[in-house]
A and B are shown apart, each in its own frame.
Chain A
Amino acid sequence: MCQVDEEYSEQLEKRTVPSVSQNCVKCKDGSAVLIIRAGDAFCRCCFKEYFVHKFRAMLGKNRVIFPGEKVLLAVSGGPASSAMLSQVQEGLSRDAPKKLRFIPGILHIDEGGACGQSLEERERSTAQLEAIFRATGYPFHTVPLEQVFELPSSVLEAAASAPQRPDGSYKAAVDQFLQSAKARGSSSPGEGGPDGDPAVREAQVRLSRLETRDAPNGPARLGLGRSEDLGRLLSSVRTLTAKEDMLQTLRHHLMVHTARTHGYSKVMMGDSCSRLAVKLLSNIAQGRGATLATDTGFSDPRYGDVVIIRPMRDYSSKEIAFYNKMFGVPSVFVPGLDTKASDKASIPLLTESFVTKLQTDFPPPSAPSTGPVRSYARSTLKQKKPLPSTPRWCLRGCLRSGSLGRPGRPSAGGAAPRGPAGRGLWSRRGHLLLLPHVSLGCGAPAPPDLRSLLCYSCRLTVKDMSAVDTLPPYIVSEAEHRSHRLRMKQEISEFLLDEEEEDDDDEEAA
């Protein structure tokens, strides 16, 4: 199992790089097949163990998924999300004490329409993916990106987040789950069989009958004419950077919506640490500093009732590629917007090229391969205080809650003068929710100027669009809603109690 042909060893003597005759750093016995960190050579067996352990450890350490919880796995078909799917299968099928105990489902967003794929190409890759999904026995949802044009505007409302469970309750929940599983008739602990707990298995069987495509097959599946809408939207976005940014926003909304519709409370995304490093730096470059922590952290609570988690964030793309290759994890290459683009075509691509070169040229002595980027990330994330230009409406986060502010305090926001930025609607935490929009002063119902409502970064993206009315209706109607509220707020502002002093004190104290 751990053997590799050793016939190449002689001519490697002169090199300072480790040679194939090197033994595994872990078992000291098997011959190494890959180097995962500078100098750490692993044999095949130890690499597998390391890879599998890391996944469960990541979930175990963070304790955010409760036993029996429904978790939606977002699988693009690429290497990282495919590896994630294989790890979920591995974790759910084990009879180990650290077994995973949630109920998985799979979501694939078919973005072919955004990347200029023909219907036939899309059908082909979807069919390939669905074959992989079907083999898992988990229920799956294939949703074409075009469906963003049918999203209700409620998708932008952060539903009340799931009731906070106190930390100590995790263990209690696990125990309770095990007991009820036992009560349901498995006589001995090992009885669960290869597929794990009977309760989970039963739920999975039930769910797997529910395999859905969220719309009928064929062209109709793409949402009746919605492909033109998507085409118009994307062609109105002039730069690749803005296109990628827009696509990511829409993808998130569609994921959250699908999760809500089908009762999933967690969405797992397969971002690797290499991927997150790129995301992090390009976010900074695009002025998305404010959402850094949620965009790249393990758990991303910004949508309230649906929490996004990123269990692959400790894996480098090299580890993932090797694992998939060595252990035959199937993945489907689906071309993206940036396929075959030059590495200077967009900010994320430029950043990726930079990060990859950084990792190649300066592998840190014993840190994970994104070491330098990580320490940069850490220092960035330490700055808790929002930057002065903290978001207005961010398409990427800070969703509207039922009322702008704390319940029971109707004017909790308070319209406060804020330096040169002037008056705006602020949340209690000092986030600028809305900025007054000058051209609305005349009272005529002008169409909302989206740009003036948005945060700096989203504004940049929208600025790169030639026509804003190509946006999906749920975004347009949210913009109308926001500028309407803003106008009302302005009209009644003189009658409101002035809370700005207090607000400012709060801010400084924080």
Chain B
Amino acid sequence: MAAPITLHLEFGGGAELLFEGVKDHQVTLPSQSQPWDMKQLLVWIRANMLKERPELFVQGDTVRPGILVLINDADWELMGELTYELQDRDTVVFISTLHGG
């Protein structure tokens, strides 16, 4: 049984609008038998945080194309993307690059 973990989530580039305009969120993921990974985090965000238009944030089991993800300030493409195993006090940043000018 893995202990609950606390994460710092940050939304930017307009993605925050899907979260009531709030950029910074401290969230605690409940304990579960498996360690939390990014794929599960997205499911959790969709179920617990997204107030409207979830398709503008998640599509299929991943983020909508055009939304960048940084895990602890590094490109998630370097970290295994959806398979990255989250650690307590990780920072995950989502930046929308869609229609920015």
Contacts and interface: CB of A to CB of B under 8 A. Distances in A.
Interface in B52-72: 53, 56, 65-66, 68, 70-72
Interface stretch (B1-9, B26-34, B75-83): B75-83
A409 interface: no
A79 B78 contact: no
B83 to A, nearest CB: 6
Contact of B101 (A8, A270, A349): A270
Contacts, number: 119
A349 B99 contact: yes
Contacts of A359: 65
A78 interface: yes
A80 B100 CA distance: 7
Contacts of B13: 79, 321, 333
Contacts of B79: 8, 12, 19-20
A326 B101 contact: no
A7 interface: yes
A193 interface: no
Contact of A22 (B71, B72, B78): B78
Interface in B4-61: 12-14, 16-18, 53, 56
B97 A321 contact: yes
B14 A80 contact: no
A340 B80 contact: no
B77 A18 contact: yes
A66 interface: no
A81 B80 CA distance: 31
Contact of A8 (B68, B84, B93): B84
Contacts of A179: none
Contact of B78 (A11, A19, A318, A360): A19
Contacts of B81: 17
B80 A4 contact: no
Q: Interface size bucket, B side?
A: 20 to 34
Contact of A356 (B65, B70, B78): B65
B78 A340 contact: no
A18 B74 CA distance: 12
B35 to A, nearest CB: 9
Contact of A33 (B65, B66, B74): B74
Q: Interface size bucket, A side?
A: 35 or more
A361 B62 CA distance: 13
Contact of A326 (B65, B73, B100): B73
Nearest to A14: B83
A402 B15 CA distance: 48
A325 interface: yes
A17 B77 contact: yes
A5 interface: yes
B92 interface: no
Given A317-B100, A340-B56, A353-B65, A325 B78 contact: no
Which among B65, B79, B95, B100 has the greatest number of chain A C-beta atoms within 10 A?
B100
A339 B85 CA distance: 32
A156 B81 CA distance: 50
Nearest to A75: B101
Given A41-B78, A359-B65, A325 B101 contact: no
Contact of B73 (A33, A78, A348, A356): A33
A32 interface: yes
B100 to A, nearest CB: 4
Interface string A60-88: 00000000000000001011110000000
A349 B98 CA distance: 9
Contacts of A321: 13, 68, 95, 97, 100
B97 A318 contact: yes
A37 to B, nearest CB: 11
Given A17-B81, A317-B100, A340 B72 contact: no
A35 interface: yes
Nearest to B23: A333
A358 B53 CA distance: 22
A15 B77 CA distance: 11
A34 B66 CA distance: 15
A41 B74 CA distance: 11
A359 B73 CA distance: 22
Contacts of A5: 72
Given A19-B80, A325-B12, A340-B17, A35 B75 contact: yes
Which among B74, B77, B83, B95 has the greatest number of chain A C-beta atoms within 10 A?
B74
5 contacts: A4-B73, A17-B80, A32-B74, A317-B100, A325-B73
Interface of B: 12-14, 16-18, 53, 56, 65-66, 68, 70-75, 77-81, 83-85, 87, 93, 95, 97-101
Given A20-B74, A342-B56, 7 more contacts: A11-B80, A12-B80, A35-B78, A79-B101, A275-B101, A317-B97, A322-B68
